[in-house]
Structure 1
Amino acid sequence: MTRKLKKGGYAAILSVIVIAAVVLLNMIVGRLPEKVRQWDLSGTQIYTVGDTTKELLASLDKDVTIYVVADPSAVDDRITSFVNRYADLSDHIKVENVDSVLHPDQVKQLNAENNTILVMCEDNGKTETIQMSDIIKYDQMSYYYYGQAKETEFDGEGQLTSAVSYVTNDVQKNIYVTEGHGETALGTLTSDMLEKSGLTVNTINLLTGGGIPEDCELLMINAPASDLADDEKTMVTDYMDGGGNVLLIAGYSDKDRPNLNAVMTAYGLNMENGLAADTKSCYQNNPYYIFPTLVSGSEITTGVDRKSTALILQSAAFSQLETLPDEVTVEPFMETTDGGMLVTENGQTAGTYILGATAVKTLDSGTARLTVFGTPSLIDDGLNSTFTNLTNLDLFMNAVTANFEDVTNVSIPSKSLEVTYNTVTHGGMWGIVFILVIPVITVAAGLMVWLKRRRL
């Protein structure tokens, strides 16, 4: 055997060994969990599963199957990757891909639809269908005006976690939202989050509807422009005396609302006649745009990200009665700082004012709960869409679900897919440095080096 042939044989054997090692490594990596194989390097962490989902999956005691029903070649890889992470986090969850092109009979047998995710609980047979278009959302106006499909949001965790919670939970709760007083309608974000937690929202006019329905488990009054009628005040009072729960988003009004305030007074709270302001913790030096202080230890603020903040605009102010009614306890969970003040037509009164509180009354047959917020801006779609890192909706959903012992807040907002640009709105001296000084110095230094080298 020649020396050249011997070298070639060694090279061939080494090549076979390297190829075999690569194939074996790929097989091993392919068996690893999705969370190990793929790292979340996205700007808004769209693949990262939050604590709410982890706690839900860890507590599962029923088997759930997630069917991805679509042509596999047409499914977005981001959806596939995210779904597989749920199976990695719980032994009670398995994922199956159903090829709607090759196996239409299986799609029909599951009673599923194409381009959907079907979440099914094996124990009780409950199912929930998620449209692919509800996970990756697009700006329809952009397509209409410019003919381009622009991605805006990724709602994988919100949709999947809500579906898993729904199919494994037999609890159904009814919320009634009042109308007839110029109330602000619930926005899309708020309605979606209530639905994600398995809560059914209905509207009710207390006068024309004949009162509060028997199946009402939470009565919500959202920023009424006018006061309750005397009959309505009696209805609400009787409802709470029977152990009912009321969530009031008061909102500021220049009109007197004595009946509404009487309901609050019975639970140890007083709605001040003026606007809340805060000179120490506000947005862009506007004291009516308040970053409220969240009180630790409250169940409403539990689990809220302390690295983020809430922002409320033009809020009503509350104070606690010096002497509380019998069997009533009041727990503020959102306040101004000590730089707070009450602004009225007659002037300003400094102090720390309540912006959100819970009052609980102990009854012979249980408890009644009144939760108040000072402003509907807390759940405003425009505000929460503009500032996506606010904790406003988390506080609201915690306040809603605190009324139910068997309901937890599994409402997870979608994550933005918009490209975020860093901009300097007021450059001042720094703008001159970066735009003029640094480029001039760089060009001058380069010119000097060039001249020096040319002489050499």
Structure 2
Amino acid sequence: MTRKLKKGGYTAILSVIVIAAVVLLNLIVGRLPEKVRQWDMSSSQIYTLGGTTQDLLRSLDRDVTIYVVADPDSVDKRITSFVKRYEDLSDCIKVVTVDSVLHPDEVKKLKAQDNTLLVSCDSTGRTESIALADIIKMDEMSYYYYGQSKETEFDGEGQLTGAISHVINDAEKTVYFTEGHGEAALGATASDMLKKSNLTVNTVNLLTGGSIPKDCQLLLMNAPASDLANDEKKMISDYLDGGGRVMILAGYSEKDRPNLNALMNDYGLNLENGLAADTKKFYQNNPYYIFPTIQAGSEVTNGIDGKSAALVLQSAALTQKEGLPEGVEVTPFMETSDGGMVVTADKQTQGTYILGAVSEKTLSSGTARLTVFSTPSLIDEGLNTSFTNLTNLTLFMNAVTTNFDDVSNVSIPSKSLEVTYNTVTHGGMWGILFIFVIPVVTLAAGLVIWLKRRRL
């Protein structure tokens, strides 16, 4: 064997070893969990699963299959990578890809739609379908006006966690929103969060309907501008006396609402006449834009970080009656600071005022529960869209779901895909340093070096 042939043989053997090592490494890496193979480097942490999802997956005791029904080549890689993270966190989760192009019969057998995630639980027989377009949301107006496709939100965790919670639970709960008193419309975000927690939302006009529907498990009034009729007040009182659940987002109104206030008085709360303000904890020099004090120890505030903030605007104020009715216990969970006040046209009354409270009444047959927020701005669509880091919606959803023993708050808001820029709003000395000092020093040093080299 010549030396040249021997050298070529060593090279060939070495090449085979390297190729085999690369193939083996790829096989090993391919079997690693998705969270290990792909780190979440996105600015809004779209691949990171929050505590609510992790708690749900850890407690799973029923098998759930997530079918990715689409042409695999057309599915956004962010979605497939995200879905696999659920499989990594629970042995009860299985992800199956169904190629809708090659296997249309299998799609038909599953009764699925193309370009969807189908979440299925065999033990309950329930399924939930999620359109891929509902996960990565687009700005339709941008395309309409400018002809450009612009991504706005990634709602993978909210949609998928809500769907899993829905298919594993047998219980269905119905929430009725009242109409006929100038109530504010429920925003898209709040409606979406109620749906994610598997709550069916309907509306009811008590005056024309004549009664509270029998399947109503929570009656909710959102910013009634006018008062309850006498018949309506009696209906709600009777519903509560039968162990019912009622939530009121009262809000400030220039109209007198004696029946509404009388309903609250029966449960130890009084709606003050005037606007709430806070001279110590407010936003942008406006004492009517209040950062409320969140009280620990309430079911409504469970899981809320003490460093996070809620914001309420143009709020009414509540106080607790000195002599509580028999069997009634009031638990405030949101208040002004001691710099709070109620402002009317002719006076200002200082004190600490309640902005949110739960009142429970012990009955012979169970417990009645009345939850009152003093402001509907808590779920205002514009406010929560502008300030995505507020805990407003979490407080609202906690208040809703704590009315049910077998419903948890699994409502997770979508994450922004908007491009964020590092901007110094008030530079001060830092602005002077980076705009003037550093450039001048750099130019001076360069000039000195240039002069020295020129003399050599």
The alignment's TM-score, normalised by the length of structure 1, stands at: 0.97
CA contact (8 A) 2:124 2:170 kept: no
Are 2:447 and 1:415 equivalent residues in the alignment? Answer: no
Deviation at residue 84 of structure 1 after TM alignment? 0.8
User: CA offsets per residue over residues 345-394 of structure 1, 9 Å max, x none?
Assistant: 22222221111110000000000001011111110111111111111111
329-338 or 53-62: which moved more? 53-62
Partner of 1:28: 28
Aligned to 1:316, what secondary structure does the other structure show? coil
Are 2:229 and 1:206 equivalent residues in the alignment? Answer: no
252-261 or 74-83: which moved more? 252-261
Are 2:74 and 1:64 equivalent residues in the alignment? Answer: no
Partner of 2:247: 247
User: CA offsets per residue over residues 56-87 of structure 1, 9 Å max, x none?
Assistant: 11222221111100000000001001111111
Deviation at residue 327 of structure 1 after TM alignment? 0.5
Partner of 1:42: 42
Partner of 1:234: 234
Partner of 2:447: 447
Deviation at residue 430 of structure 1 after TM alignment? 4.2
Mapping for residues 3-402 of structure 1, pairs under 5 Å:
6-402=6-402
CA separation in 2, counterparts of 1:148 and 1:283? 36
User: CA offsets per residue over residues 227-284 of structure 1, 9 Å max, x none?
Assistant: 1111111111111111111100011112221111111111111111111112222212
CA separation in 1, counterparts of 2:52 and 2:305? 12
Deviation at residue 7 of structure 1 after TM alignment? 4.5
Deviation at residue 5 of structure 1 after TM alignment? 5.0
247-256 or 305-314: which moved more? 305-314
Aligned to 1:436, what secondary structure does the other structure show? helix
The amino acid across from 1:421 in the alignment is Y
CA separation in 2, counterparts of 1:377 and 1:443? 53
301-310 or 266-275: which moved more? 301-310
CA separation in 2, counterparts of 1:263 and 1:256? 14
Distance 1:306 1:20, change over 3 A: farther
The amino acid across from 1:33 in the alignment is P
Aligned to 1:438, what secondary structure does the other structure show? helix
CA separation in 1, counterparts of 2:8 and 2:303? 65
Identical amino acids, percent of aligned pairs: 75
Structure 2: where are the runs of 5+ without partners?
A: none
The amino acid across from 1:265 in the alignment is N
The amino acid across from 1:364 in the alignment is S
Alpha-carbon RMSD across the aligned residues, in angstroms, is: 1.5
The amino acid across from 1:285 in the alignment is N
The amino acid across from 2:289 in the alignment is Y
Paired residues in the alignment total 456
CA contact (8 A) 2:124 2:169 kept: no
CA separation in 2, counterparts of 1:300 and 1:154? 27
CA separation in 2, counterparts of 1:248 and 1:360? 14
CA separation in 2, counterparts of 1:455 and 1:8? 58
The amino acid across from 1:402 in the alignment is T
Partner of 1:435: 435
Aligned to 1:184, what secondary structure does the other structure show? coil
Aligned to 2:111, what secondary structure does the other structure show? coil
CA separation in 1, counterparts of 2:76 and 2:306? 33
CA separation in 1, counterparts of 2:185 and 2:411? 19
Structure 1: where are the runs of 5+ without partners?
A: none
Distance 1:326 1:387, change over 3 A: same
CA separation in 2, counterparts of 1:51 and 1:430? 37
The alignment's TM-score, normalised by the length of structure 2, stands at: 0.97
The amino acid across from 2:283 in the alignment is Y
Deviation at residue 225 of structure 1 after TM alignment? 0.8
User: CA offsets per residue over residues 116-148 of structure 1, 9 Å max, x none?
Assistant: 111111113211110000000000000001111
Deviation at residue 423 of structure 1 after TM alignment? 2.6
